Chains A and B, each alone.
Chain A
Amino acid sequence: AAGVIQSPRHLIKEKRETATLKCYPIPRHDTVYWYQQGPGQDPQFLISFYEKMQSDKGSIPDRFSAQQFSDYHSELNMSSLELGDSALYFCASSTGTGGLRDTQYFGPGTRLTVL
């Protein structure tokens, strides 16, 4: 079965640089979520989109922005990178929105290292 695809899988950036992470949801999934997992920590919700509209917002820094495109893929743009942004960034997808029974399927993650 098709899964969530994330690219790149690994990314190394310098401080103050920018980064763009991409997420391709499971076919026919219209909701995308972004999570950040620091070393040894649990995933923290950043932001989500349904039908190209932001549906929920968590602890996403102002330096980050995201969007969902017409083909449902999503991109997370990160600017003025800081050392503390080094983490594993997960994308997840699901069908529907707001439904309490939706299950989120996670991609393999993008490991961002800021030097």
Chain B
Amino acid sequence: GNSVTQMEGPVTLSEEAFLTINCTYTATGYPSLFWYVQYPGEGLQLLLKATKADDKGSNKGFEATYRKETTSFHLEKGSVQVSDSAVYFCALRGGTASKLTFGTGTRLQVTL
């Protein structure tokens, strides 16, 4: 079946540091890949997505590239801000299933 593996958190960075959150997946066929962000006490917000190999999703300074050869979709940001502190979920949707399969989430804490 489909599965998503994320690096464990929490990840603690200073403001303006470079961020990488690793995500790898297992799926049959050609899944669509997503990053969702969950701020404290709030719901899930779509951050970015990619629907085919070599696609790059980007939003609010975050980027992730769909790498089929390494089955990865790592999230990056060049300079994080305190306001980026949240939990980040990698997810996939693939095969004949309509559901999203999520990773365990990575908590990011950015300090001044």
- Contact residue among A102, A106, A107 (Cβ-Cβ distance under 8 Å from B36): A106
Q: Across the interface, do B32 and A101 meet the contact criterion of CB distance under 8 Å?
A: yes
B22 to chain A, nearest CB (A): 16
Binary per-residue interface labels of chain A (30-55) against chain B in the complex, 1 for a CB within 8 Å, 0 otherwise? 01010100000111110010100001
Please tell me if the beta carbons of A45 and B99 are within 8 angstroms of each other in the complex: yes
Q: Majority SS of interface residues in chain B?
A: loop
B46 touches A100 (CB 8 A): no
A8 interfacial contact with B, CB 8 Å: no
Decide: A42 and B98 in contact? CB cutoff 8 A: no
Q: State the interface size on chain B (CB cutoff 8 A).
A: 25
Is B45's CB within 8 Å of the partner chain A?
Answer: yes
Task: Tell me the count of chain A residues lying within 8 A, CB to CB, of chain B.
Answer: 27
Kindly state the separation between the CA atoms of A107 and B42 in the bound complex, as whole angstroms. 9
User: A106–B99 Cα gap in the complex (Å)?
Assistant: 13
